Amino acid sequence: MPDNQSMYSLIEKRIARDGAKTAFVLPDGSELTYAELGAHISRMANALVAAGVSPGDRVTAQVEKSLPNAVLYLATLKAGAVFNPLNSGYTPAELDYFIGDAEPTLLVCQRSSLELLTPIADRHGVKTTLLLEPDGSGSLIDLAAHQKSDHATVPRAADDLASLIYTSGTTGRSKGAMITHGNLVSNTEALCDTWRVTGDDTLLHALPIFHVHGLFVALNTTLSQGARILWQPRFDLEGALRLLPGSTLMMGVPTFYTRLLSSPAFGRDTCRNMRLFVSGSAPLLAETHTEFVQRTGHAILERYGMTETGMITSNPYAAEGRLAGTVGYALPGISVRIAEPEGKELAPGEIGVIEVKGPNVFSGYWRNPEKTKAEFRQDGYFITGDLGMMEPDGRVSIVGRAKDLIITGGLNVYPKEVEDELNALPGVAEAAVVGIPHPDFGEGVVAILARAPGADGAGIASETAIIEALAGRLAKFKCPKRVLVVDELPRNAMGKVQKAELRARYGEVFKS
């Protein structure tokens, strides 16, 4: 076999080369060097073996973010097993499905959920259950503490599975995306090259690590380059303002940046050592991008990716090339095209479904060959389900999800076009536009507006006034038939607006 193609081998080389450098700075100010990190990972990998985990076995973790949780991920890769992180907010019914589908050898959870998970684990034949608490204690840590601090990394081929991550399940049952070592390595190298990540960087890490963004994009890029990570359990405005002056790099979701902008203390001095702000997982409003530039002098770099593909596109590293409302160009080695639902490629400027091909694209859906076949073209392109358009030079803009397309009176309405107009109105923090069953038009356009901070009901114009204002800017069929105002929009853990929940919540609006 050629050199080990495990994602962990990239990090292991850095541990051997930069052992004395700081890898993590913890919330209490203590530090962990790369050599110490390597020893923790080896002990954890040996603990996995002691718990009965073999190469290819799934290790399912439903725990809060902690450094030992990150070590568990890396140790799973080192041991040749498959890491399966689960959101700590999942319901019992969801957990029963995920655990039954993944069939893990080892389940790692917290004591608070042990009573709930034990019968589920027993029902699905999970061999071992170990505990990992938010404070870093638990039976898994006790087991690891008694293991040797050296472990021979299990060789992996590029097409061997590294992780099993379940999609959000917005259309039907969640599906397990099979992420290979080759997927992780290729995406890590492309991002490090595009974003110029080096060992001189210090990353402020406040993202969750049950998701591609915080787990793969943030950890793999920085650790593979020997960078330093300021480790935070979650995004906290006060903590971010304190740590940003000592950071060079931050990866976040749009809500991180709007919260920073909400503080009068946030400005150029806070960002005096920053090299790059990256945003993803949800659309960044153009207004946020513009205000951020004005306050800090930094243009946020927006990129585009998904669970099944890792990162697909990125705005350029050069600040002047970062255009608000776009997600940039295909990363090195990745091919992107815009196509009709039937697969015919569209010309520049036309809206269609984004399709992608490259070493970043997952190997398929876990134990679901029919769904896998349905989501790939015969020439190997993966159908993302996202609607977008491409400029002649290859720059990509996202219009929305294909499932969010509204067809009213036989005419197509792309929610983002309407949302952009609504977001420019006084008192509106953010708009979400959905299609709701309508007796005459099939679907009616409905706008749900979240109030801007400090704006009361009077801060937003009346429903009639809003509809009249849009009439001069949008074709009549695109204008909302109803406008509703709420305190905040429902979001998932990564900050994405949950339009399925909005459609369910307001599904009767045209029946009243």
* Residue-wise pLDDT tens digits, 308-345: 999 999 999 999 999 998 999 999 999 999 999 889 99
DSSP assignments along 212-247, one per residue: HIIIIIIIIHHHHHT-EEEE-SS--HHHHHHHGGG-
CB 489 within 8 A of CB 430: yes
| Higher-confidence position of 441 and 357 | 357
Least confident of 4-18, 98-112, 153-167, 423-437: 423-437
Backbone angles phi, psi at 288, to 5 degrees: -65, -45
Band (pLDDT 50/70/90 cuts) for residue 29 is very high
Q: Which residue has the tokens 């290859």?
A: 394
Calculate the average pLDDT of the chain. 93
> Which residue is listed with tokens 């953010």?
430
pLDDT for the residue numbered 115: 94
Higher pLDDT, 247 or 471: 247
Give the whole-number percent of the chain exceeding pLDDT 90: 79
Q: 170: pLDDT confidence band, cut at 50, 70 and 90?
A: very low
* Nearest Cα residue to 87 out of 173, 200, 168: 168
**CATH topology agreement for domains 34-155 and 405-505:** no
Range with the poorest average pLDDT among 67-71, 227-231, 258-262: 258-262
Per the model's pLDDT, the better-predicted residue between 396 and 409 turns out to be 396
**Does the pLDDT at position 123 exceed 80?**
yes
Q: What is the pLDDT of residue 282?
A: 78
Q: Considering the chain, what percentage of its residues have pLDDT values greater than 70?
A: 97
**pLDDT over threshold 60, residue 455:** no
Q: pTM value?
A: 0.87
Residue 266 contacts residue 260 (beta carbons within 8 Å): yes
Strands of the 106-109 sheet, one edge to the other: 128-131, 106-109, 58-62, 82-85, 161-166, 176-180
For 487-496, the pLDDT digits (tens) are 999 988 777 8
Rounded to an integer, what distance in angstroms lies between the CA atom of residue 153 and that of residue 127? 23
Instruction: Read off φ and ψ for residue 344, nearest 5 degrees.
Output: -70, 130
Which CATH code is given to the segment(s) 405-505?
A: 3.30.300.30
**At residue 43, does pLDDT exceed 50?**
yes
**Higher-scoring residue by pLDDT: 167, 379:** 379
pLDDT at 476: 87
Question: How, if at all, do strands 22-25 and 228-231 pair?
Answer: parallel
Per residue in 185-217, pLDDT (tens digit) is 999 999 999 999 999 999 999 999 998 999 999
Question: What is the band of 417 on the pLDDT scale with cuts at 50, 70, 90?
Answer: confident
pLDDT band at 1 (very low <50, low <70, confident <90, very high): very low
134 falls in which pLDDT band (50, 70, 90)?
A: very high
Measure the CA–CA gap between 85 and 161, rounded to whole angstroms: 14
Neighbours of 145 (CB within 10 A): 10
CA dihedral over 451, 457, 463, 465, signed as positive or negative: negative
Taking the domains of the chain in order of start, what are their residue ranges? 34-155, 405-505
Q: Does pLDDT of 400 surpass 90?
A: no
Q: What is the structure's pLDDT at 254? A: 87
For residue 403, the model assigns a pLDDT of 83
Q: What is the pLDDT of residue 108?
A: 98
Residue 488 structure tokens? 């905040």
Q: How confident is the model at residue 456, as a pLDDT?
A: 54
Q: How confident is the model at residue 477 (pLDDT cuts 50, 70, 90)?
A: confident
Banded model confidence at residue 74, pLDDT cuts 50, 70, 90: very high
In this model, does residue 457 exceed pLDDT 80? no
pLDDT of residue 512: 64
Q: Which two tokens stand for residue 354?
A: 């984004």
- For the beta carbon of residue 387, count every other beta carbon within 10 angstroms: 23
Whether the Cβ atoms of residue 429 and residue 452 lie closer than 8 Å to each other: yes
Residues in Cβ contact with 283 at an 8 Å cutoff, skipping those fewer than 6 apart: 254, 398, 416
Domain 34-155, second-level architecture: 3-Layer(aba) Sandwich (3.40)
Q: At what angle do helices 286-296 and 415-423 cross, to 10 degrees?
A: 40
CA separation for the pair 93, 89 (Å, rounded): 12
Whether residue 440 has pLDDT greater than 80: no
